[in-house]
Amino acid sequence: MLRILGKMAGKRLSNDRVFQAGIEAAQTTAKAAARASHILFLEIAGVFFTGFGVAGTGAAIREYRLYSAGRIGPGKVILAACFAAVFFYFAVSSFWKAKKR
């Protein structure tokens, strides 16, 4: 009995223009909110990646000073520089994707 009443109410609401307009408004709002939140996520990720890149650059400079003083080999300098370069690439690509959306 309850199922039949539910079906009847569903059919009645599906033909109602105000109800359909409300559904379409909710879908449009959800799409816009999802798009905005995705762009915000990309921008926040870009900021974090930039921070990691800056930290990696600082480490590369510190390791280069030790390398130039002859205290360590070139491996740590190369590793820190590659770390910084990769995270700067991630940052740029994240901001680029946010701009494209």
CA angle 37, 53, 91 (to 5 degrees): 30
pLDDT in tens, 24-72: 999 999 999 999 999 999 999 999 999 999 999 999 999 999 999 999 9
Residue 76 in tokens: 């740590």
Residue 8: predicted pLDDT: 66
pLDDT in tens, 8-28: 666 776 677 888 888 899 999
Residue 31: predicted pLDDT: 97
CB 97 within 8 A of CB 42: yes
Q: Does the reported pTM lie above 0.95?
A: no
Cα dist from 39 to 29, 46, 53, 88, whole Å = 15, 11, 21, 18
Residue 83: predicted pLDDT: 98
